[in-house]
């Protein structure tokens, strides 16, 4: 087993966790043609790509762990924010108003 298999596995798991966030912004961009949603999609792409690249290319170390930790916290923050927004700010566009 390669020495970076664990960090690469964590990075791939994080990439899978980012996919629903990415798809949410892609849908928002397609529905409203909002360029900000497209820019956020690009940032999420980099949040998916960079940790997988770093975990695959470099041996496990504290910088790799730091990148993975920050990426995981950022992804978790999106999920918490989406949940909060869905609860506190109902989308009037969904209700047909």
The ranges assigned to domains in the chain are 5-88
Do the Cβ atoms of 10 and 67 come closer than 8 Å?
no
Does residue 59 carry a pLDDT above 60? yes
The reported pLDDT for the residue numbered 93 is: 63
Q: State the CB neighbour count (10 A cutoff) for residue 78.
A: 19
Q: How much is the mean pLDDT over the chain?
A: 90
Tokens for 67? Answer: 């990148």
The pTM of this model reads 0.84
């Amino acid at each position: 087993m390669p020495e970076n298999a664990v960090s690469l596995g964590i990075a791939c798991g994080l990439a899978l966790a980012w996919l629903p966030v990415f798809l949410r912004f892609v849908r928002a961009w397609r529905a409203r043609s909002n360029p900000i949603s497209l820019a956020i999609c690009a940032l999420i792409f980099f949040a998916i790509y960079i940790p997988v690249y770093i975990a695959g290319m470099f041996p496990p170390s504290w910088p790799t762990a730091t990148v993975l930790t920050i990426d995981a916290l950022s992804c978790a923050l999106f999920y918490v924010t989406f949940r909060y927004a869905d609860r506190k700010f109902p989308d009037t566009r969904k209700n047909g108003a």
